[in-house]
Chain A
Amino acid sequence: MGARQENGTPRKLASVTEEEIANVTDNEVRKYLRGEGANLEVWTIVVTSWDTLDESPENFMYLQVIQDKKLKGQLAFREELYGKSAKAAAKAEKWLMPTEGGYLDAEGIEKTWRIKQDTIAREVDISSSKKQYDIVLPDFGPYTLDFTSSGRYMAAAGHKGHLAIIDLQNLGVIKELQDEMMLIGVTGIVVNENVEFRGRGTLMYVREAVRDVVFLHNELFFAAAQNKYLYIYNRDGTELHCLKEHGAVLKLQFLKNHFLLASINNFGQLHYQDVTTGEMVNSYRTGLGRSDVLQVNPFNGVIASGHSGGTVNMWKPTSAAPLVKMLCHHGPVTGLAFHPNGHLMATAGMDKKIKLWDLRKFQVLQTLPGHAKTLDFSQKGLLATATGSFIQVLGDFSGSQKYSRYMGHSMAKGYQIQKVSFRPYEDVLGIGHSMGWSSILIPGAGEPNFDSWVANPFETSKQRREKEVRSLLDKLPAEAIMLDPSKIGTVRSARKKEKPTKQEREAEIEAAVAAAKSVLLKKKTKGRNKPSKLVKKRQQGIERAKRPLLEQQMEEELSKKKKRKMSEDNQLPKSLQRFARKTATA
């Protein structure tokens, strides 16, 4: 099948000439150009006559966009620089990446979605096969999971009060806190025989419901949404904060660039809290009732919430009204996920549909049948959907954003899957279910090459400390969240001049009338100071004040009529146009 990734092709470095190294195709470069550059040589055509049918050249005026030579030179230099750096990045991607991506190729009549996890485990190396395990903890499920951005640590939260932080590199539970946990540790864990837990990790037992867990900026802190309040713990399981303002939180999200903890509670209230200062940035009532579907778009930091009415609303912390309201399903929304490039959203609803949306046009790209309780996109764009005890992984192999079956996996019967989550930088899918948590291999899911400055799975504590400081220096203000983050630093196009509304116009006239009324009239000599004359004069003053405003109003109406007339004229077939009235009706 076409599951094989492009950079998974074997390289024969020995036979590569220098020319080949220097050559990169435009397609490879485009990714790094981040959109079109400024076109400096464009001549725009400005129509100078309304008679669009007459195409004689005097009706068009040609304008050069950039006339300032100095500016043009600077822009040209800058564009060249961007081109060069994009090319260098593309070349680095082609030749310098240390790791190849995973892939799964079916041969002959095989189908990738029929390949079982056991078969994959037999084929891959031992260290990879160790990533496939089931942890059975029947007393505390269902479990929900969260990974750190480097994919090294996992937080698992059992609904009946179990919290665990696990170092996935050496599969160690970091620390045991209470005696009860020892018991679970001994009796509960049944694993794939290759895997044993050792080393460092945290297991803790809070005696109340845990609905969601999320890591803060690094593995040292995590937030857990418990029965009544939201708590922040450190890695050792010490409670640092109890955030009562959030209420009984159902779902949590953390915005890494902004250091914002977002939560939605059982009354449908959305809270944004800055975790560096503790300030509550904003809180909004969604007004759409209880919701436990909340997902942050990694591309722009906008948070989407799915509601029981089938709508998906997108929020930013600086406006009480949602940025976008979409009616996605006829029935409650059950799951929501964003592609890492931010242009694709997957939603699942109770109406037995899974929909893929293009977020640039807010249109459906594809509708797939099926329920999904939880959805997740991997770094390479695979989509995992899960319902009941069955997981399906979809992939986009045609390159045309049409997702099709890639892999499937069934848990043991009766397991209810609560959450699926791809582990970053690994070909691993984490599954939280009613009987514990599991991990399966999905080849081609993760980004094979990490960037040490973004997220490093092999981070030392010193590097982590340095990164914490750096990321705090680069902390974005809450205002930086917007639908199109590339808008920052660009010129805002001139806003259309808004017409005053009817009320505003009336208010204006009223104000003018009041001003005219309040004018003190001079006292005239005897005989010329008659009350009737005074009234008449005052009336005249009022009319004089009203007149320009009324005239303006009339003019606008006239021009509107004229415009409408002209558009009607244009709709006529050409042969009939000469019969249309030329002059606008007064």
Chain B
Amino acid sequence: MKVKVISRSTDEFTRERSQDLQRVFHNFDPNLRTQEKAVEYVRALNAAKLEKIFARPFIGAMDGHRDSVSCMAKNPNHLKGIFSGSMDGDIRLWDIASRRTVCEFTGHKGAVRGLTASTDGRILVSCGSDCTVRLWSVPIATAMESDGTSDSSNKPLAVHVSKNALWAADHQWDGDLFATAGAQVDIWDHNRSQPVKSFEWGSDTVISVRFNPGEPNILATSASDRSITMYDLRMDSPARKLIMRTRTNSISWNPMEPMNFTAANEDCNCYSYDARKLDEAKCVHKDHVSAVLDIDYSPTGREFVTGSYDRTVRIFQYNGGHSREIYHTKRMQRVFCVKFSCDASYVISGSDDTNLRLWKAKASEQLGVILPRERKKHEYMEAVKNRYKHLPEVKRISRHRHLPRPVYKASALRRIMAAAERRKEDRRRAHSTPGSMPKESVRKRRIIKEVE
């Protein structure tokens, strides 16, 4: 006879000294954890509720400008710094951590419209409605930290005069060139006082310009003649043009998939395009109830932030038709510019009420150093929530957002209008010759034509 029974010695299963960690044993046998699905569901529900409770996205406002904030620029070489320009010609460098002005760059006579920093973060380029392009030297990081409160004013390194008012500026991701947009698109070098190159297509004002993050020679602009135009610096003339039904206010390239860009349109939607295939939008991002004025991609390329004339900031997934998040406060007015921070964890918005506002990119994220155990717990909760996100109760809680009354009313109205239009079209189709009114997808409907 052979016999053995379970026998555990206490020493083997408990810690030796009181300073030791308690020993943990695992057995994944499903019979030990009964009703695990119900338990997981309860956890998912709790996680969704907790997320709602901890959703406090607003961190603080940066007050200092005397007129509305018209544009912003990230400093690619310094995480804490952000530049902002206002309608009265004031340019400021902010320290995000302390939410204070580090220094002011004064000189513009009119509104600052374009602001961009060079890749090394040393030079700031600004342009505005006073027809000048100004280059500024940015104080280095150590100086910024040592006298964080000093308002040392700087003199521009160079002032270039252009013929027309300028509307936008953008620096190459990799290189010495930068572009300004106004009546035409000018390409400048740091060391020249005249544009290196000029492009012109049509007679309308170009209102935004963005260089491609992957290919330094390619840039996209949008103009007030409702067009989005692609340029290649190696060619003498613009490459392609897409005309939509309404104006595009701003463009942002996806930094992780540099062939794709998203356009912030006047018709309250954003349109994601593949630059190689402009006859159809890849995705239409709906939710805003007024013109979208600015857009910026997260460095992860997975989501982007938009600011709108309806006084809200929204965050969209790069492939999501509706926004994941809406930020608003009572005091925030029309949002003219938004930026994602370089570590993808904050969003900065500049609005008509002369303030810059700092938001968390994930509304309920815990700031500060997180212990590994804590992080694991967060990850687990996220995973369970994701698993049960389709169930009505979880969905209801995690989808719910409080909207300002005007936005709520306006979105309801837009829904009604869209439904009415659809109904009307359906009826027309039903009463016309079959095939004479083909269905047009939303992704194509707003495009008028593509010009090569």
Q: A93 CA to B14 CA in the complex, in Å?
A: 21
- Complex Cα distance, B258 from A158, in Å, reads 78
Q: How many whole Å from A180's CB to the nearest CB in chain B? A: 33
Contacting pair A447 B4 (CB below 8 A): no
A125 adjacent to B7 (CB under 8 Å)? yes
B6 contacts which chain A residues (CB < 8 A)? 99, 101-102, 128, 425-427, 446, 448
A169 CB within 8 Å of chain B:
yes
Q: Which residues of A contact B46 (CB under 8 A)?
A: 473
- Indicate if the CB atoms of A119 and B1 lie closer than 8 Å: yes
B16 to chain A, nearest CB (A): 13
- Alpha-carbon distance A468/B121, docked complex (angstroms): 54
Q: Once bound together, how far apart are the Cα atoms of A19 and B34, in whole Å? A: 33
Q: Which of A1-50 contact B (CB under 8 A)?
A: 8, 31-32, 34
Which candidate, A305-313, A398-406, A450-458, is the interface stretch facing chain B? A450-458
What separation, in Å, do the CA atoms of A476 and B7 have in the docked complex?
A: 34
CB contact list, B10-37 vs A, under 8 A: 10, 12-14, 22-35, 37
- Residue A138, interface by CB 8 Å: no
Q: In the bound complex, do residue B35 and residue A476 qualify as a contact, i.e. CB atoms below 8 Å apart?
A: yes
Q: Does B9 touch A at the CB level, under 8 Å?
A: yes
Residues of B within 8 A of A475 (CB): 42
Q: Given the complex, which residues of A lie within 8 Å of B8, measured CB to CB?
A: 99, 457
Q: What separation, in Å, do the CA atoms of A222 and B45 have in the docked complex?
A: 30
Bound form: Cα–Cα A98–B35 in Å: 26
- Complex: A103 Cα to B42 Cα, angstroms: 39
In the complex, which residues of chain B have a beta carbon less than 8 angstroms from the beta carbon of A450? 25, 27
| Cross-chain contact B39 with A476 (CB below 8 angstroms) | yes
Which of A119, A124, A453, A489 touches B388 (beta carbons < 8 Å)? A489
Closest A residue to B8 by beta carbon equals A99
Please indicate the chain B residues that have their CB under 8 angstroms from the CB of A104 in the complex. Answer: 1-3
Question: Do B38 and A488 touch (CB < 8 A)?
Answer: yes
Query: Contacts of A426 on B, CB cut-off 8 Å?
Result: 6
The count of chain A contact residues (Cβ–Cβ below 8 Å) is: 69
Query: Chain B residue with minimal CB distance to A300?
Result: B35
In angstroms, how far is the closest chain B Cβ from the Cβ of A545?
32
Q: Within 8 Å of chain B (Cβ to Cβ): is A97?
A: yes
Taken together as a complex, chains A and B put the C-alpha atoms of A581 and B383 apart, in Å, by: 62
Q: Are B5 and A257 in contact (CB under 8 A)?
A: no
Contact among A93, A125, A476 for B42, CB-based, below 8 A: A476
Residues in B whose Cβ lies below 8 Å from that of A257: 34-35, 38-39
In the assembled complex, which residues on chain B have CB atoms less than 8 Å from the CB atom of A299?
Answer: 34-35
Please choose the segment from A105-113, A496-504, A527-535 that sits at the chain B interface, where 4 or more of its residues have CB less than 8 A away.
A105-113
- The answer to whether A124 touches B4, judged by C-beta atoms less than 8 angstroms apart, is yes
Chain B residues in 8 Å Cβ range of A278: none
Decide yes or no whether A485 CB sits under 8 A from chain B: yes
B39 touches A31 (CB 8 A): no
Q: Answer whether residue B443 sits at the interface, using C-beta atoms and an 8 A cutoff.
A: no
Using CB atoms, name the residue of chain B closest to A477. Answer: B42
Tell whether, in the assembled complex, residue A458 and residue B14 are in contact, meaning their CB atoms are under 8 Å apart: yes
Residue among B5, B27, B33, B37 with the highest chain A CB neighbour number at 10 A: B5
CB distance from A319 to the nearest CB of B (A): 17
In the complex, A379→B31 CA distance in Å? 9
Contact in complex: B29, A476 (CB < 8 Å) = no
The residues of B that contact A131 with a CB separation of less than 8 Å are 5
Q: How far is the CB of B48 from chain A (nearest CB, A)?
A: 14
A543-575 Cβ-contact flags toward B at 8 Å (1 or 0): 000000000000000000000000000000000
A342 within 8 A of B: yes
- Return the CB mask of A433-470 against B: 1 if under 8 Å, else 0: 00000000101001111111111111010010000000
Note all chain B residues with C-beta closer than 8 A to A446.
6
By a CB distance below 8 angstroms, the chain B residues around A489 are: 37, 41, 387-388, 391
Which residues of A have CB within 8 Å of B99?
Answer: none
Q: What are the residues of chain A within 8 A of B32 when measuring CB–CB?
A: 447, 451, 454-455
Q: Distance (Å) between the CB of A397 and the closest chain B CB?
A: 15
Which residue, A32, A425, A485, A489, has most C-beta atoms of chain B within 10 A?
A489
Determine whether the beta carbon of B35 is less than 8 Å from that of A301.
yes
Cα-based distance from A341 to B35 in the complex (angstroms) = 11
Nearest Cβ on chain A to B13's Cβ, whole angstroms: 5
Q: Within 8 Å of chain A (Cβ to Cβ): is B122?
A: no
Q: Are B42 and A124 in contact (CB under 8 A)?
A: no
**Is A488 a contact of B41 with CB atoms below 8 Å?**
yes
Q: Which of the listed residues B8, B14, B22, B38 has the most CB atoms from chain A within 10 Å of its own CB?
A: B38
User: Is B328 part of the contact surface with A, judged by Cβ < 8 Å?
Assistant: no
A97 contacts which chain B residues (CB < 8 A)?
27
Closest residue to B31 on the A side, CB-wise? A340
**Which of these, B9, B26, B29, B39, contacts A127 with CB under 8 Å?**
B9
B43 within 8 A of A: yes
- Nearest-CB residue, chain A, relative to B33: A454
CB contacts (< 8 Å) of A123 on chain B: these are: 1, 3
A104-B2, A425-B6, A443-B5 are known contacts. Are A474 and B39 too (CB-CB below 8 A)?
yes
Closest to A480 in B: B38
Complex-state Cα separation, A106 to B2, whole angstroms: 7
CB interface residues, B 79-129, toward A, < 8 Å: none
- A100 on the interface (CB 8 Å rule)? yes
Within 8 A of A (CB), among B23-71: 23-35, 37-39, 41-43, 46
Name the A residues within 8 Å of B10 (CB-CB): 169, 458
Per-residue CB proximity of B132-149 to A under 8 Å, as 1/0? 000000000000000000
Beyond A452-B26, A473-B46, list 5 extra A-B contacts (CB 8 Å).
A102-B3, A107-B1, A463-B22, A476-B35, A489-B41
The 5 closest A-B pairs by CB, nearest first: A89-B28, A105-B2, A427-B5, A480-B38, A102-B5
B residues sitting closer than 8 Å to A (CB atoms) are 1-10, 12-14, 22-35, 37-39, 41-43, 46, 387-388, 391
A sample of 28 inter-chain contacts (CB < 8 A) reads A92-B28, A93-B27, A93-B28, A100-B4, A102-B4, A105-B1, A106-B1, A115-B1, A115-B3, A120-B3, A127-B7, A127-B9, A128-B6, A131-B5, A169-B10, A257-B39, A299-B35, A342-B34, A443-B5, A458-B13, A458-B14, A476-B35, A477-B42, A480-B35, A485-B34, A486-B37, A488-B38, A488-B41
